[in-house]
């Protein structure tokens, strides 16, 4: 998988804030009291359940920000599938630093690997269809970029990163604008030619109205499988079609079989369970 890493300049403030939250006013009282200052250790990051890895760069940064002498050797890179018990990476260096950064490193790694694993489960479920799995803006505040990265690590794709990426006209926009036509016409006047316009609909009648104005994409929200079949036929390739609304890995294949282009899933980033990963001391 060609998965470009996120730039360190973007990651460092996130990791630094997390470390400061954990260190508080007095630092790691336990490690400083129990572990000799000059003791070096080797530990391993181990998958305690099968899944897909994401977030190693953040984990590495957590260790490095505490002590630049900590080294990580990666065996299973981001985007890799791992089996239960498999070694993901080894971490060696000053023992105090490793133990101090351990929870912050694991918090990022387990959370993002959980998102990647959840994404991979849905991507694999629809592999025989053309549809792509995309995430939404339902992300943890401050973590959107890394959570969307984790979706890519799991084989998914990204929807817009923020309100400034594209126009997505939803039901409340239409209600306040007065009509679908008014909303779309105002959108076209307001933005440049490179900005895409997508319109959300939840009935076939609304879809017919929207198609009169040739939007770049239509978001088919909470439609039944039968309605999605009809909607895709109505669009007939004139706009990109996107399905959304409580779509799980179990029902995703039926949604993809309608011929839809995109399936957007909010729970990938807001509710995916962590992937259980541990840091274990390796005896010298």
Give catalytic residues, as residue numbers.
Answer: 103, 138, 170, 200, 221
Question: How far is Cα 36 from Cα 83, in angstroms, rounded to an integer?
Answer: 34
Q: Which helix (H) or strand (E) holds 99?
A: helix 95-125
Measure the CA–CA gap between 150 and 264, rounded to whole angstroms.
15
CB 139 within 8 A of CB 269: yes
The rounded distance, in Å, linking the Cα atoms of 1 and 194 is: 29
Phi (first) and psi of residue 167, to 5 degrees: -95, 125
From the list 195, 193, 198, the residue with the least C-alpha distance to 183 is 198
Query: How far is Cα 8 from Cα 95, in angstroms, rounded to an integer?
Result: 24
Tell me how crowded residue 159 is: count the other CB atoms within 10 A of its CB: 22
State how far the Cα of 54 lies from the Cα of 150, in Å rounded to an integer: 6
Beta-carbon-side half-sphere exposure of residue 90 (alpha carbons within 13 Å): 7
Dihedral over Cα of 178, 183, 184, 190: its sign: positive
Report the candidate in 205, 202, 207 with the shortest Cα–Cα distance to residue 236: 207
| Separation of alpha carbons 87 and 102, rounded Å | 16
Please give the Cα distance from 56 to 138 (Å, whole number): 23
């Amino acid at each position: 998988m060609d998965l470009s890493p996120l730039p360190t300049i973007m990651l460092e403030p996130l990791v630094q804030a997390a470390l400061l939250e954990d260190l508080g006013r007095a630092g790691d009282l336990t490690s400083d009291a129990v572990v000799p200052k000059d003791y070096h250790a080797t530990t391993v990051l181990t998958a305690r359940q099968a899944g897909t890895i994401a977030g190693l760069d953040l984990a590495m940064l957590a260790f490095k920000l505490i002590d630049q002498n900590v080294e990580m050797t990666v065996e299973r890179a981001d985007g890799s599938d791992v089996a239960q018990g498999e070694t993901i990476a080894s971490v060696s260096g000053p023992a105090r630093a490793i133990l101090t950064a351990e929870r912050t490193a694991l918090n990022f790694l387990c959370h993002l690997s959980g998102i990647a694993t959840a994404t991979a489960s849905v991507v694999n479920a629809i592999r025989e269809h053309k549809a792509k799995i995309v995430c939404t803006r339902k992300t943890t505040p401050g973590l959107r970029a890394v959570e969307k990265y984790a979706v890519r690590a799991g084989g998914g794709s990204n929807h817009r990163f923020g309100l400034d990426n594209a126009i997505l006209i939803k039901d409340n926009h239409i209600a306040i604008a007065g009509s679908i036509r008014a909303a779309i016409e105002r959108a076209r006047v307001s933005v440049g030619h490179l900005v895409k316009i997508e319109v959300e609909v939840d009935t076939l009648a609304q879809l017919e109205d929207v198609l009169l104005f040739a939007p770049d994409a239509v978001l088919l929200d909470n439609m039944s499988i039968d309605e999605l079949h009809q909607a895709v036929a109505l669009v007939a390739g004139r706009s990109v079609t996107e399905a959304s609304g409580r779509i799980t890995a179990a029902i995703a294949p039926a949604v993809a079989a309608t011929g839809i282009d995109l399936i957007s899933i909010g729970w990938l980033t807001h509710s995916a369970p962590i992937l259980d990963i541990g840091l274990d001391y390796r005896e010298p």
